[in-house]
Amino acid sequence: MTAIEFHMDGALARAARHLTQVSARTIARFADVDQDALRRYEKGGNSLSSKEIQAVTEALVHYGASFVPEDEAGGIGVRRKFTRTNVRMIENWESEGGPVGDDDA
C-alpha cells in the first residue's frame, strides 16, 4: 500500500470519518489502533503515534475519504472519493443479492 504523505490532525480525521459514515470502531480495527485512543485523538488529544496516524489515514482512504492538500487557495480538506451518483450505484449493486465477492482491489 502506498503511504499518504501529509500530517492529519484529529479534527480532519473526525471530519473524514463522519463524511464517509464509518464508525470509529471500524477505522480503529482497520488501522490496528485502540478505539478509545482514536476518539481522544479526534477530540484534540495527542494519543496516537505518527505511525498510527498514518494507519488511520490509510484506513480513511480505504473507506472513501479523499484528502485535499493545502495550497494557495486554501488549507487541507477532505471530500468523498466517490460522487453521489457513484455511491448510489454501489449501494444498488450491493443490494442486488447474489454471492458475496471480495471487492478489495
pLDDT(90) > 80: no
Domains and CATH numbers, the chain: 10-95 (1.10.260.40)
The whole-chain average pLDDT of the chain stands at 82
pLDDT, tens digit (0-9, with 9 covering 90-100), for 11-37: 999 999 999 989 999 999 999 999 999
pLDDT, tens digit (0-9, with 9 covering 90-100), for 61-70: 999 999 988 8
Q: What angle do CA 20, 90, 66 make, to 5 degrees?
A: 35
pLDDT(39) > 80: yes
Please name the residue that has the C-alpha cell 484528502: 67
Q: How far apart are CA 60 and CA 17, in angstroms?
A: 7
Question: Long-range contact list for 23-28, CB < 8 A, 24+ apart?
Answer: 26/63, 27/56, 27/59, 27/60, 27/63
Q: What's this model's pTM, rounded to 2 decimal places?
A: 0.71
pLDDT(10) > 70: yes
pLDDT at 73: 79
DSSP 77: E
Q: How far apart are CA 63 and CA 21, in angstroms?
A: 9
